[in-house]
A = this chain, B = another copy of it.
Amino acid sequence: MDIFALSGDKKRVLILGGGFGGIEIARRLDTRKYEVLLIDKHNYFTFQPLLYQVATGGLEPDSVAYPLRKILSKNNKVLFRLAEVQKIDAANSKVITTIGELPYDKLVLATGATTNFFNMTETEKSALSLKSVTDALNIRSFVLQKFEAALLVNSIEEQKRMMNFVIVGGGPTGVEISGALAELKRHVLPCDYPELDIKMMNISILESGENVLDAMSDYAKRKAKKQLEEMGVNLLMKKQLKSFNGHEAVLADGTVIETSSLIWTAGVKGNFPEGFDATVVARGNRLIVDDTNHLVSNENIFAIGDVASMQSGAHPMVAPVAIQQAKNLAKNLNSQKPKGEWEKFVYVDKGSMATIGRSRAVADIKFIHMKGFFAWLAWLFIHLMLLVGFRNRVIVLFNWIWNYFSYDRAIRLIIRPYEKSEK
């Protein structure tokens, strides 16, 4: 069945991926000028910045995800199909997917990033990661199951191992999940497990650099360190993980940490399907694009967001870059001008922030550096506004208020989703 059957003589734009970049361009493309089709392997958009709260029982998965069809229905000529991409056949201008071959005139890769284990296969097998709703639910279940299991063993050593959580990577994700675990330790777990000595629970951040939040200002780094230490998180700086087998984490300096829970947040890499040769791939497995997000090797293929790396300088792999590139590309495509007249992409960095825990956060906004309660409020407000859908905003706001005043994280179901393809 030709999905583009109705397109007549309009050019066909195929967008791969329904993340920040993909939905932004899909909403902005002029459907009077283009036939637009977006495909994704999920039927929902995931708001990744809040996944760590799903992983730690603070939010429902349904509040940080949003049906793609509902997002796209606002520009209701955009088509959506649930499909996985298998390969790109650029020579014949088509994409091979699980629902068949899809031809295109213009192809937009907005396929994002995936966890980078830097070829540490054993670690990859045993570590937890946090890039999807499924991952978040998996971490939530895993952490709770460790406490259930700790109740069943007699050895204090074994209990300590089960209650030892190592987070590799001191970036925002690592800091946020460590802070959230520290809050669980302080407020929730002692009530849930009165028979366990929760003081034995141990949370460490392992970071190869000198500081947590190394991309932020010196002020933010210093304050984040202080706040994490106040919350009882161990900061193991200038340490590198060598391997993790599910029971022991071995560091580069030979230290052995007894733990069964290691959360890997120390790296991401661009995620794109087969069909490109090594010459167009930059550092971090990202596709090399010019200043208008054209793939250097092909006039009709574009890459935006995490999967793209500009020749003139790679941008950080964060949502604002993806959104801004999507806007710029949509504008250029809508203009239908020749390539030479396209507007070049200029990144406007609006700053960065990370939340550390209850009333604790750090923020760099232009030349303003904030910490503590006001940074935390700013973080909450901005993330609330970025969420998709009014219903989700209300539910998240209510959960935050609830969590704040009750000191609770009420969403503690052990339940694991899996990907099942249906005929």
Which A residues fall within an 8 A CB radius of B? 1, 3, 42-44, 60-63, 65-67, 69-70, 73, 76, 79, 81-82, 99-100, 133-134, 137, 141-142, 144-145, 148-149, 151-154, 191-195, 389, 391-392, 394-395, 398-399, 402, 406, 408, 410-420, 422-423
Contacts and interface: CB of A to CB of B under 8 A. Distances in A.
Given A410-B389, A413-B44, A67 B422 contact: no
20 contacts: A43-B144, A44-B413, A44-B415, A60-B63, A67-B410, A67-B412, A69-B192, A70-B410, A70-B412, A73-B194, A82-B145, A82-B148, A99-B152, A133-B413, A133-B415, A134-B415, A141-B420, A394-B398, A416-B417, A417-B417
- List the 9 closest pairs (A to B, CB-CB), nearest first: A67-B412, A69-B192, A145-B422, A60-B62, A82-B148, A60-B60, A415-B417, A44-B413, A418-B418
Contacts of A419: 416
Contacts of A152: 1, 81, 99-100
A402 B413 contact: no
A416 B420 contact: yes
The CB with the most chain B CB atoms within 10 A, among A42, A43, A423, is that of A43
Contacts of A70: 191-192, 410, 412
Copies in the complex: 2
A50 B151 CA distance: 32
Contacts of A154: 1
Nearest to A45: B413
A67 B192 contact: yes
Nearest to A194: B76
A410 B387 CA distance: 14
Given A61-B62, A391-B410, 16 more contacts: A1-B153, A42-B413, A43-B148, A44-B414, A60-B60, A67-B410, A69-B193, A70-B410, A73-B191, A81-B152, A82-B148, A145-B422, A149-B422, A395-B395, A415-B417, A416-B420
Given A65-B413, A389-B410, A73 B142 contact: no
A422 B420 CA distance: 20
A418 B137 CA distance: 11
Contacts of A389: 410
Contacts of A133: 413, 415
A83 to B, nearest CB: 9
Contacts of A192: 67, 69-70, 73
Contacts of A43: 144, 148, 412-414
The CB with the most chain B CB atoms within 10 A, among A61, A76, A137, is that of A61
The CB with the most chain B CB atoms within 10 A, among A60, A76, A142, A415, is that of A415
Contacts of A153: 1
A414 B149 contact: no
A1 B154 CA distance: 6
B1 A413 contact: no
A407 to B, nearest CB: 13
A416 B413 contact: no
A391 B395 contact: no
Nearest to A403: B391
Contacts of A63: 60
A62 B402 contact: no
A198 to B, nearest CB: 13
Nearest to A137: B417
